[in-house]
Amino acid sequence: MTADTRPVIGIDLGTSCSRLGIFKDGKSQIIANHEGDRSTPSWISFSDDGEVHVELSAHVLRQLKNRAEEYCGCPITDAVITVPAYFSDSQRKATKIAAEIAGLNVLRLINEPNAAAIAYCLEKKKDSKVLVYNFGGGTLDVSILIHSIDDNTFKVQATSGNTHLGGKDIDNLLADYCITEFYLVHKIDVKDDPSAMARIREACEKAKHALSTAQKYRVVLPNLVDKVTCDITVAKMKMDEIDDVVLVGGSTRIPKIRELLKGFFGDKQLSHNIDPDEAVALGATIYAAVLAKVEDCKNVRLVDIISRSLGINTHGGIMSPLIFHGTHIPTRGYEIYTTIADDQEIVPFKIYEGEATLTQDNRLLGEFDFTGIPRAPKKVLEFSLPVEKSTGNKQNFAVKDKNACLTSAEIEKVMHAQNGSADDSS
């Protein structure tokens, strides 16, 4: 088997569970782990500022890679990996670094809702506008895509999300409820007992899953603390243009979530035609086969959007956007800037992503200095800052000096002209 004919894999790298898929016999399918489970615990963690812990992600990815190689009986290096739609640039970079550490070549990082839409729509016979509601263990994404069957194009129209909201937050709410009930009965506070808290959280996760189908669930933890048994019963709480509402992620099985969505969309039916746990991995696998040009795979064209605006810091700490959130990629943008002080020879550029007016509330991506500027009064010289955003989520910045062809005499002439205009207006 040559490198060109080796299988490629799709990976849903989840916060709590990950799934692995391979394209075989004309369709994508999930590869079970050694225990026969179709999902593998991830336990991906984030630092306080939301950054991915690269080493932990790499460990999970290496496990998945090894399992795929055992299943296929050959080396595997190429993969498509999914990320939450609202992941920041640094979170995406961290995921790619983790994959490289694990020995994987990332063909593309694609957003989880996009992967789910591909898996859901691929066999449909008519154009459709799909809303994907992706509520997983640690993140929430909502995306709207238009699927055109003529050229099998998926065009993202809008996306939003929260990278710090997921099923784990519901586990925490259930845990808080159990802790309070336990205290009311036994007058013992277990919040500072790591062992007791770990057992409560594990039990509450099981309770959450059970309450997706049962009316009530009894949480029983013998000898939780000081030989006191915890025994608590948790009861279950009783757009016109969108063609399909697709529920993705294990947390969408929670009845209250479905009830809220039904209330929001009215008569619109929530789709149950695809496994919410496996849709993302299956879609990633299909797209991996497309990029690898697998013969028996339908071609798919994905047109994504930029999830966060790109811009620079300007005078006063104001964000000056170069490419706005929601713009289809690949794309390019630029803006004209000037000096803010007399004889300024260096202009510092700080690149940010985010929607806040003040750059201090956005995320810094990087910075560089534009040097060698001819000495001149402020606002005389101009330069443009073009930026390109590619489908691989790469951005390139380059400063272009609009005064590069001006001689010192010409610059002085511009200065005199400006001074003359100032005198006339005074």
Domains for the chain: give ranges and CATH numbers. Answer: 3-164+239-303 (3.30.420.40), 310-425 (2.60.34.10)
* Residue 50 confidence (pLDDT): 58
Backbone φ/ψ region at 76: left (φ over 0), alpha (ψ -120 to 50), beta: beta
Q: What is the mean pLDDT of the chain?
A: 80
CA angle 168, 169, 173 (to 5 degrees): 115
Please state whether the predicted TM-score (pTM) of the whole model is above 0.75: no
**Cα dihedral sign, 391-246-277-208:** positive
* Residue 114 confidence (pLDDT): 94
Q: Answer yes or no: are the C-beta atoms of 42 and 15 closer than 8 Å.
A: yes
Q: 14-71 pLDDT, tens per residue?
A: 888 899 999 988 889 999 998 899 999 886 555 565 555 788 889 899 999 999 999 9
Q: How confident is the model at residue 191 (pLDDT cuts 50, 70, 90)?
A: confident
* Residue 127 confidence (pLDDT): 92
Q: 281-311 pLDDT, tens per residue?
A: 999 999 999 999 988 888 999 999 888 889 9
| One-letter amino acid of 211 | L
| One-letter amino acid of 205 | E
Q: How confident is the model at residue 87 (pLDDT cuts 50, 70, 90)?
A: confident
Measured distance CA(400)–CA(231) in Å, rounded: 69
Q: 347-374 pLDDT, tens per residue?
A: 888 999 998 889 999 999 988 888 888 8
Q: Answer yes or no: are the C-beta atoms of 57 and 47 closer than 8 Å.
A: no
Tokens of 244: 């399909």
Measured distance CA(47)–CA(57) in Å, rounded: 13
Which residues, in sequence order, are bridge partners of residue 331?
Answer: 389
Q: Which residue has the higher pLDDT, 420 or 141?
A: 141
Measured distance CA(105)–CA(137) in Å, rounded: 26
pLDDT at 403 over 80: no
Q: 119-154 pLDDT, tens per residue?
A: 999 888 899 988 888 887 767 788 889 999 999 999
Q: Answer yes or no: are the C-beta atoms of 379 and 347 closer than 8 Å.
A: no
Rounded average pLDDT over 202-208: 77
Q: What percent of the chain has pLDDT over 90?
A: 30
Buried b (16+ CB within 10 A) or exposed e, 315-329: eeeebebbbebebeb
